[in-house]
Structure 1
Amino acid sequence: MFLSNFYLECYPQPVPQAVSYIIKKIVGLNFVALITKLKISDAKDYLLNTNLSIEKIAEYVGYNNVDHFSRTFKKYYKQLPQQYRKLKQYSLLSLIKRYTK
């Protein structure tokens, strides 16, 4: 969880073709797709477990542009980050209310 330092250290450097090939064979994703998936997964964790702003979350997972981050997040979760956070918080509150009566 929260691998933003990893992204910042590894992503800007070119990945040797052999490494990309191995990653693709094992994981089924190319290097860029794998890093993007990890970033967005970490962003989801930040959204659910912190009160950080969307801008801070985007920055922490390695996005310089919040709009680009939001579009990418939506590709994975079919919702903008703000919508995802609100829906998950509402769902959790509903469950708590249901089981604490």
Structure 2
Amino acid sequence: MSRYTVWFKTAQADGVGIVELADERLSGRDAVIEYSGRLTQDGDTFKATVSTRRHSPGHAGILGLDEFDVDFEGISGPRNAACSGTVRQLPDVPLEVVLVLMEG
């Protein structure tokens, strides 16, 4: 299992969370939203599909939705990754993500 700090960014907002990757599965959370999905890797490129749901009351998520699905494509290195996503419920809102491997 690998654990990453993740930074999400849209034109209107940004946020941070933690993601764990293991056996082509991913899971994670931030202060109010949790996410899960599948990942396929081909060399240094990858594709992922992620679904979210609210786990705690609080502020609005960066997209203003509690539940949404995202299809990502990106490039990864030994310690980090970057990808772009299309939110199925908001296809005109680009979502950028950077992941940085956590030590320890």
TM over 0.5: no
Q: Which has more helix, going by share of residues?
A: 1
Q: Which has more strand, going by share of residues?
A: 2
Q: TM-score, normalised by structure 2?
A: 0.25
Bigger Rg, which one: 1
Q: TM-score, normalised by structure 1?
A: 0.25
